[in-house]
Chains A and B, each alone.
Chain A
Amino acid sequence: MNFEQLLSDYIGRQIEVFLSSNYYTGDLLSTGNGQFTILVTDPSYQTPTEQVTLFSNQVSFVRILAL
């Protein structure tokens, strides 16, 4: 099982995504091949759009917040 397959178990959940130089938080909308999309719940000037597609290769880790 790869990263996106494990992540797909948490579609709809609130997640935090940590990259080496950036951070996003939002609701996980979908996962795909080498990428996943979140609905950003705390937009900043770096993430002006609400829906952000992140590329898995650049991600260090994802935290899925407990319900």
Chain B
Amino acid sequence: MADIVLLRCDNNYARNAARVTLSSSSSAAPSILLGTSMAAALEQLTNAGFSIQSGSADGAGFSFTLIRGEQPENPGIIDYFKDKIGENVTIETLAGTVGGTVLNVGIDVIKLQEPAGDILLVRAAQINAAYP
């Protein structure tokens, strides 16, 4: 399971700083004290293994989503096969070509069922190409 932190930092123009005004995190994530400077909070979280998933700015401050944990190494491949669940695909890998119905998609693996009934677990990092 991934750990997630949502962070809101509002500008304080009088102090020339942006400070944390809202921090919402999943249970295993470190808690960020309100009032912590934005830079210090981001440093604390990145040192704890988090990376910024998204960030945005508006007239009042900054918002961040940070995630730690299971993230796909090959998000393009994973997203492709998530759209193919239930469909038949052929996959070219470094060890040969396989095919079947996409049953499930993990963070680094595609689960297929071959026509003969066998299950295939294909590692995403080893996939060269795919086609219907």
Contact = CB atoms under 8 A, between A and B. Distances in A.
Q: Do A and B bind each other?
A: yes
A36 to B, nearest CB: 11
Which of A3, A20, A64, A66 gathers most chain B CB within 10 Å?
A3
Given A20-B95, A66-B116, A61 B108 contact: no
A7 B96 CA distance: 20
A64 B109 CA distance: 14
A20 B120 contact: no
A65 B116 CA distance: 9
A10 B111 CA distance: 13
Interface residues of A, number: 21
Contact of A6 (B109, B116, B126): B109
Contact of A60 (B70, B95, B111): B95
Contact of B96 (A3, A18, A62): A18
A57 interface: yes
A35 interface: no
A19 B93 CA distance: 10
A7 to B, nearest CB: 6
A56 B106 contact: no
A2 interface: yes
Interface in A13-67: 18-20, 23, 56-57, 59-66
B59 interface: no
B118 interface: yes
Given A64-B120, A64-B121, 12 more contacts: A2-B109, A3-B108, A3-B123, A56-B123, A60-B94, A60-B123, A61-B93, A61-B98, A61-B122, A63-B120, A64-B118, A66-B117
